[in-house]
Amino acid sequence: MASLQSGTVLGERFELIGELGSGGVAVVYLAYDRLRDERIALKVLHPHLSGDRITRARLRREVQAAGRIRHPNALVAYELHELDGQLALSMPLHTGSTLGDAVAARGPLDGARLQAIAEQLAGALQASHRVGVIHRDVTPNNVLVDEQGTACLSDFGLARLDGQRTATATTAMGTWGYAPPELFEGKRVDPRADLYSLGAVLYFAATGRSPFDAANPAAILQRQLAGNFQPLAEARPDVPRPLCAVIDALLATSPDDRPASVGAALDALQHRAAPPPKRAPAPPPAPEPLPTAAPPGAPRSHLPEGAWRVEVSERSRHRSRRRELRKLARNRREGRLDAHLRDAFTAVGVEVRRGLGLPIGATPEQELARAVARIADLPPEALEVAPAMLERHFELVRGVSEDAAQRLVNSATGAGFRARMSRTDTPPASDLGANVFVDLVMFVVAAILALFSPGVAQRMRERRDGTHQLPLAYDHDLRAALARGYTHLLAAPAPRTPRATHTTATPSATAAPSATPAPAPSAKPARNPLHERAIDAIEGLNVALRDEAARLPAPVLDDLRRTSSALRDRANALAERIATLDAELANSVDADEQAAAARVEARIERLRTLERAGALQDASELPKLERALEAHQRAAESAQDLEDAHTLAIAHLLELTATATAARRDLLADAGAISAPLVVERLQREASAASSALREVGSMSPKAQGAAAGSRQRT
């Protein structure tokens, strides 16, 4: 659009002084606001956005939502104006420059300034997420810095323009190298998307380049999806290691591998000093004999019995890491530990991961073990990582129910493996990634080996024919896999009926019938991963309370226990709301309603043009179309209500997880390093915030349900 001239007065209120900058959404002017009697920044949107009624309605909602953000480092708009046919946002004037310009002019930031800006931006995002607003476009050009090193995050709400569906739009909603991978994969984003963008911005501030710098957008996206970036500690050895570790964690490809929430990231940033020395850990409990029957009231069980197996195979991008794990396991058995792997087990690495709300040493293999433990209703750390899980292709479980198998397939896929489920009476796959070309190569290799190594050739034939037994990680009976201190949780399983395997042998006709098995426990409804993580964090807090009960005053201990129970209730309630909203969003008509509204609006404009020309043939059509347009807009707004409620619920579930994790860490710290009443206050504050979020979500979603249902009836 052509720039407006200095001295132009818009809406008889804003006198333009000059242009400050422009972008793909708007032109920014320095203006004098006669009503406020101050200089402001006025963002005048481009005509193609100002002229779209749906965009105007959406932007108005975004400005209203962003207006609830209260933080000194969040630069939010005052209000939305329609000025002489143009759409504009009035904003506080920030006299600094963008972070991109500042780094270009003065070079990358030193460690102290990087630390300060990281905390400021994380604080702004935390305030945003607490009111259910995801920024979606955190980039160096949307961060403003002044000479004192203060940073402000701007452009809240402007990333959801151009009529794009908020959850699944791609390039219109992000910037190459800064938008998270899940956005480009078409997935619904949550507040952890902003964490990824924050990590990319901080990496840029430290190095002067994007972490995924490449020649073209396709190459950038490829590097993002592969998580291919130089660790910040290598690019900037002078930056403190804990700060580098936090930034690297923010850039994890999977949202589940990032900090639990922006609150957890901020907490880790603010605890950058070396952690206080830990008290000597209590000696582990002596091994207990396995009971022959489950203790009265014990809520534990074996894996639900059935006729299904789960096969898992490593992906090529993880082979180098897993090769090192196999080497490490071999060296541990031989009493050696490679020097280049020791850094992964240092105190700094452990403390940073704990501060971020991530499981300590949570490798994909440990995540699989946790998933099996959850299926068996065991604590997350109850199972050891089975040696078979380091093989390239293995059976994770065998003889489990179909529901348990499906849940474990989902968990394995989420942890970065290939996985499939099949019945135990069918042969296992030779390789989950096999294809015709691989089969041909295997045939040729087998023929050559048959001449020189008959034993190897025989094993290859067994794998190809389905008679090869894959290494098994966990059977239905988990007693042999229990970690030290958990052996009392499982009793001997009920007798099981023999099941046919994939071998060709048939059972004898005279075999004695086995005892009738006890009915398998019914599988609990699957929790979503965020809920599982929250429950794990609260369970960890409860374990810490048991461990530290002796040194805590009785009233404080009672408060902690009550608040922990309240947090669990809030987590369950939030998860139920999220599940309900997920189902409603799956049937959302937002995109259809927007398209229909655009068609109706175009038809209205055509008829009005004909009316002005005196060529309108049916004057009764206009009122009908206007009523239809209003109905479509209401339905689109209702669908947006669902989206906002979904975001708000997820944001508070993430913050609840981070708070429980931080409380556990604080309770396990040195006795003089933390005040237990402060931990109680923090937990109670989070429980109260979660309760408020539940009430707000409840007030948002019923309206959306009714309107969306009405829209579906019209459709």
Q: Are residues 102 and 227 in the same domain?
A: yes
Helices and strands: H and E segment counts in the chain: 22, 13
* Whether 267 and 208 share a structural domain: yes
| Domain assignment present for 23 | yes
Predicted local confidence at residue 542, as pLDDT: 85
Residue after which a domain boundary falls, among 44, 74, 93:
93
Q: Does 489 fall in a domain? A: no
Q: Are residues 262 and 341 in the same domain?
A: no
Specify if 142 maps to a domain. yes
By the 10 Å C-beta count (0-12 exposed, 13-18 middle, 19+ buried), 551 is classed as: exposed
Instruction: Assess whether pLDDT exceeds 80 at residue 327.
Output: no
How high is the pLDDT of residue 165? 36
Whether 116 and 179 share a structural domain:
yes
Query: Which of 135-149, 417-431, 460-474, 520-534 bottoms out in mean pLDDT, i.e. has the lowest?
Result: 520-534
Is the same domain home to 107 and 16? no
Domain assignment present for 522: no
Looking at the structure, do residues 650 and 633 belong to the same domain, yes or no? Answer: yes
DSSP string, 354-390: HHTTPPTT--HHHHHHHHHHHHTT--TTSBPPPGGGG
Task: Report pLDDT for 582.
Answer: 80
> Do 120 and 262 share a domain, yes or no?
yes
- Count of structural domains, the chain: 4
Residue 513 in any domain: the answer is no
For the record, the structure tokens of 591 come out as 């995109």
Q: What is the CATH number of the domain that holds 134?
A: 1.10.510.10
Long-range contacts of 98-101 (CB under 8 A, 24+ apart): 98/140, 98/141, 98/142, 98/143, 98/144, 98/145, 99/140, 99/141, 99/143, 99/144, 99/145, 99/151, 99/201, 99/204, 99/205, 100/139, 100/140, 100/141, 100/204
What share of the chain in percent tops pLDDT 90?
17
3-state secondary structure at position 468: coil
Residues in Cβ contact with 7 at an 8 Å cutoff, skipping those fewer than 6 apart: 15, 16
Query: What does the alpha-carbon distance between residue 135 and residue 90 come to, in Å, rounded to a whole number?
Result: 18
Q: Last residue of some domain: 411, 443, 477?
A: 477
In the chain, the amino acid numbered 341 is L
Domain assignment of residue 281, yes or no: no
Amino acid 330: pLDDT:
66
CA gap 59, 566 in Å, rounded:
37
* Cα(607)–Cα(610) distance, integer angstroms: 5
Whether 266 and 314 map to the same domain: the answer is: no
DSSP 3-state assignment of 350?
A: helix
pLDDT above 80 for 233: yes
Shared domain check, 76 and 111: no
Candidate ranges 102-106, 117-121, 254-258, 673-677; pick with highest mean pLDDT: 117-121
What integer is the mean pLDDT of 383-401? Answer: 87
pLDDT value at 136 more than 80: yes
Determine, yes or no, domain membership for 377. yes
**pLDDT per residue over 59-82, tens digit each?**
777 787 788 888 999 998 888 898
Percent of the chain with pLDDT over 70: 70
Q: Lowest mean pLDDT: which of 115-124, 246-255, 295-304, 612-621? A: 295-304
Task: Say yes or no: 55 and 103 in one domain.
Answer: no
Q: Are residues 182 and 214 in the same domain?
A: yes
Confidence (pLDDT) at 299: 40
- Same domain for 605 and 548? yes
Which residues, at least 6 apart from 456, have a Cβ–Cβ distance to it below 8 Å? 449
Mean pLDDT in residue range 697-714: 52
Mean pLDDT along residues 640-646: 81
Q: Is 267 a catalytic residue?
A: no
Q: 522-549: per-residue pLDDT in tens?
A: 334 345 778 888 888 888 888 888 877 7
pLDDT for 689 equals: 83
Q: Which of these is catalytic: 84, 101, 137, 475?
A: 137
Look at residue 408 and give its three-state secondary structure: helix
Structural domain harbouring 579: 529-714
pLDDT at 528: 74
d(CA 86, CA 89): 10
Question: Does residue 92 register a pLDDT over 80?
Answer: yes
The pLDDT score that the predictor gives to residue 449 is: 55
Give the C-alpha separation, 492 to 497, whole Å: 15
The CATH number that applies at residue 76 is: 3.30.200.20
Average pLDDT over every residue of 339-349? 42
Average pLDDT rounded to a whole number, residues 356-380: 75
Give the residue-averaged pLDDT of 315-343. Answer: 60
| Domain end point (choices 413, 442, 477) | 477
Q: For the chain, give the mean pLDDT.
A: 75
* pTM for this predicted structure: 0.61
Residue 378, pLDDT score: 81
Q: Please check whether residue 218 lies inside any domain of the structure.
A: yes
pLDDT of residue 175: 72
578 three-class SS: helix
